[in-house]
Structure 1
Amino acid sequence: MSKAPDFQCEVTMLMAFVDANTDQPELAKGLNCTGITEDSRAVSKGDIFVARPGAESDGRRYIHQATARGAIAVLCESRDLEQFIQAEKCPVPVYQVENLAMRMGKLGDIFYQHPSNELSIIGVTGTNGKTSCSQLMARVADNLGHKAGIMGTLGNGPVDELIETGNTTTGALNIQADLADFKNKGIEVVCMEVSSHALAQGRVNGVKFKVALFTNLTRDHLDYHGNMQRYAKAKKLLLARKELESVVINADDTTGAGLIKDEDIKAKKYSFSITPINARDSDNSVWTESVTFHDFGIDAKVATPWGKMDFSTPMIGQFNLSNCLGVITTLGVMGFSVKDIGKELNTMAFVKGRMERFGGHDKPLVIVDYAHTEDALKHVLQALKPHTNHKLWCIFGCGGDRDKGKRPQMAAIAEEYTDHLILTSDNPRSERVDSIIQQMMKGLNHPTDCEVEFDRELAIRSSISRAVLGDVVLVAGKGHEQFQHIGKEKIPHSDVDTVKHALEMGSWK
């Protein structure tokens, strides 16, 4: 959403705030814009059309279409603009500025009248756990009387009204428009997943965060960042922001331990740990004094700067304990009662597509999880092993056009922890499924022992039909997703729906 008819702004003033200039100032006199968009197809009369290079196309190619639809001004990336248009021949003022992408957040913030100033925004970053922490925090806050909104992988909107966006963190204009919408709906607390891509590309510029939560850092997105150092540097961009009141850091994570000591981070630091050993500062730390993992979840007693508390959750796995501690610490920093937080966590069963359970009892237990990194897959399999009375199955693939180096590593992890391994497709995108799987198999010690089935739905159905009582079947990699990206097509597919159908059709004694 980047169109809000209730807002308007003088064009010349808005352009001055982002240091944009035009050779046609006479055309801009007296103009008021009523919207901003980067999509030429979505332009309405009175809009400013923003035209800049993108990942797949260049918006400057569509300037004429935008003006024909009623755009009253154009804001362009100035570099190489002459390849696309002669500004002086355009019927509306064409503003130019270098590095436009990094100014988009400020542009949206000004147009939508600084919505984040009136919201308590929690930014959540890290390789794994962003979605679980954001969802849990928002639901706890909402249940405790503070209307909450979410921006992340499962969608944007109030807690129970999420609209899918297709990205963990949307574009800068969409973020500001959504924040303005949140403000108008009376939302107080916003839990925003902040991806490394969004940080590196400046998509959250102009957002005023109150607290930042760092979950962990493990290998992912190296196809974009190049190496772990640049990946870590991108994540740190959130934690080092000047407006932050507090940052919450996972002390059990190697990168997190370094961030706790990092002098570039000026906000007050709080840490959390699943053991007292890593709780370095009791005045600003949260840690578990005792914990029990069992078939029905986790029971934990926790020490915090705001008093001791305990909680019992049906979620399983050490990583979910860590997620819960991150939630407790962050909401504690925000002023919520830790005892109230604990009571709410007791009622939280799962986050959609995250360790989501099906079957069990008179059927094999099937888990659907979004794990798509080697670290996430390892932690999920480690968590499931104690709950497996017979055999542990794993069905997963690796995404195409993404970090190829993690493919053999993920397969090696799966081989180490499972009894039955089935390699299948994920989102192959422009790559061949057989090529992806061949790269995965390079990580296997015994490649002839695994199964290969290119058709993901068939791989899931076949595995569940062959599992026996006492088996646990993990379907990993896609979680909540409703499509497979194959070539340039989005093919409808749901791991959850496939699992449900397979369990309904099966018969176990």
Structure 2
Amino acid sequence: MKISDCASILQTSHRDQQILAASNFELTDLTQNTKTVQPGSCFVAIKGGHFDGHEHIQEVVDSGAKLIIVERPVEFAGDALVVMVPSTYKALAQLSARYFGDPSHQLTMFGVTGTNGKTTITHLIDQIMEDHGVQTGIIGTMYSKVGTKKLPAVNTTPEPLTAQRTLSEMVAADDQACAMEVSSIALVQGRAWGIDFDTAVFTNLTEDHLDYHKTFENYFDAKALLFSQLGNSYHAGDKTKTAVINIDDPHGKRLLDKTAANIITYGTKGEGILQAKNIQVTNKGTEFELQIYDETYPVHLQLMGNFNVYNALAAFGACYEHDLTPEEIIKSLESVKGVRGRFQVVPNDRDVTVIVDYAHTPDGLENVLSTINAFAKQRVFCVVGCGGDRETTKRPIMGRIAVEHSTDAVLTSDNPRTEDPDKILDQVVSELAPDTYTRLTDRRAAINYALEQAQAGDVVLIAGKGHEDYQIIGTVKHHFDDVEVVNDYFAQH
């Protein structure tokens, strides 16, 4: 990308646009990281919570930056070109999309947002599309998948530069589609700016991230951004945009007038273009009748639970508008055995059903326990905690749900981060009678306790961390994997 290309991208003064347009210099890189600036780079100064790129302009000039984008006046010695814009974060998104060749335009883009279900739905979409010859990438909580490679994820939804680079790598790897988790915080911060989604999926909205959004209405408004940004053109030749919305969720109904796109509503309560009826859940899977418009199809999922019915409907709706028949989509859904850390059954020879799940919100925990109680014949153990430096109001709710929906609640640590784990637990148990739970701060000890107490036929749910292979104590990540802890216990006993 040449500096002259930036003239038509950036919002800046006419004078700066003329200066930009006059330069044919070929930029060597685009970055917001002062440490990665190289000769010929474009550096975008971002003011973050702990670091402000504007305070390091001389450093990036000395490293050879040729074009610098700022949102306030800066002083430096050197011959770099400095351009001021109203928002450097938006400029970063605009430049990133152009620098990497607008890769989302070359992919079928699925964006999935909502409190619970995003990871499972993106993986179901991936399975469906891959089964029918459409090589598909993933961007999400667990990892990014580019071609056949899996890359570690830092955030559920990466910042614009990383997102566009990843999408560009997908195009280079011959991916034809991408299923992407889009978090509420990412939408507010503009991390999805410049990504041209073809299909947007809404799963549900329950209490989460209120430490960031402050109010539930703000949280809803953040989710709604994905749908209001889905497209407003019906121009011949444009790709058709589709919103897939859970109509059983009252917030889903509020989204219906937020988008100009086509809408597929889905649910299990008698409303929606796409519905599941006559649902039967067992410890072997879930069966139901899928109705789309005036057609009905039997479905036999290996996945368990009503919440997975919703996940399957969302994935079906997302893929339905992309030239796949209902039979093809259902065949793929029926082949999925599960997603790591999402209602993951850990095999053992003790006849104890051990389930590891990412449920870390009140709604998520209640859904998982309700599914277990539908097939459990004996005791249900629930090992769960709450993360530190996150929303505090949900902590007593999580404790109450664990006690009310299991026979044996074992309350423990999650990722305490910089908080005292015992003080977190004090809040979790604050509304509980002392004789209704077992409290063990050490997570390994809590898991081992539940496994020691469990007898043949019992169920042990280990909730909150799912796929995570670490525990954050202070600011340090320590290796910790719930599944590994379970396997270690059974290996020693």
Return the TM-score normalized by structure 2.
0.93
Q: How does 1:347-496 map to 2 (within 5 A)?
A: 347-359=335-347, 362-444=350-432, 446-496=433-483
Match of 2:91 in 1: 103
Equivalent position SS for 1:331:
helix
Match of 1:343 in 2: 331
List runs of 5+ in structure 1 lacking aligned partners.
1-8, 280-284
CA deviation digits over 1:338-364, x for unaligned, max 9? 101111111101111100001356331
Equivalent position SS for 1:278:
coil
Q: Distance in 2 between matches of 1:389 and 1:13?
A: 66
Equivalent position SS for 2:245:
strand
Q: Distance in 1 between matches of 2:219 and 2:288?
A: 33
Equivalent position SS for 1:291:
strand
Q: CA deviation at 1:160?
A: 4.5
Percent of paired sites with the same residue: 32
Indicate which of 278, 288, 303 corresponds to 2:271: 278
Change beyond 3 A, Cα 1:423–1:405:
same
Q: How does 1:9-28 map to 2 (within 5 A)?
A: 9-14=1-6, 16-20=8-12, 25=19
Indicate which of 18, 27, 41 corresponds to 1:47: 41
CA contact (8 A) 1:49 1:73 kept: yes
Q: CA deviation at 1:418?
A: 1.1
Change beyond 3 A, Cα 1:53–1:359:
same
Q: How does 1:59-458 map to 2 (within 5 A)?
A: 59-78=53-72, 81=73, 85-87=74-76, 89-158=77-146, 160-243=148-231, 245-260=241-256, 262=257, 264-275=258-269, 277-279=270-272, 285-305=273-293, 307-359=295-347, 362-444=350-432, 446-458=433-445
Q: Distance in 2 between matches of 1:475 and 1:242?
A: 37
Q: Distance in 1 between matches of 2:284 and 2:349?
A: 13
| Backbone CA RMSD of aligned residues | 2.0
Q: Which amino acid aligns with 1:289?
A: K
- Count, aligned residues: 483
List runs of 5+ in structure 2 lacking aligned partners.
232-239
CA contact (8 A) 2:384 2:464 kept: yes
Change beyond 3 A, Cα 1:293–1:475:
same
Q: CA deviation at 1:77?
A: 2.9
CA contact (8 A) 2:200 2:230 kept: no
Q: Which amino acid aligns with 2:457?
A: G
Q: Which amino acid aligns with 2:248?
A: D
Q: Distance in 1 between matches of 2:347 and 2:34?
A: 47
Change beyond 3 A, Cα 1:35–1:332:
same
Change beyond 3 A, Cα 1:159–1:187:
closer
Change beyond 3 A, Cα 1:27–1:301:
closer
Q: Which amino acid aligns with 2:465?
A: K
CA contact (8 A) 1:139 1:159 kept: no
Q: CA deviation at 1:27?
A: 13
CA contact (8 A) 2:45 2:70 kept: yes
Q: CA deviation at 1:419?
A: 1.4
Equivalent position SS for 2:150:
coil
Q: Which amino acid aligns with 1:490?
A: K
Return the TM-score normalized by structure 1.
0.90
Q: CA deviation at 1:503?
A: 2.4
CA deviation digits over 1:174-207, x for unaligned, max 9? 1111111111211111111100011101111111
Q: Distance in 1 between matches of 2:431 and 2:302?
A: 34
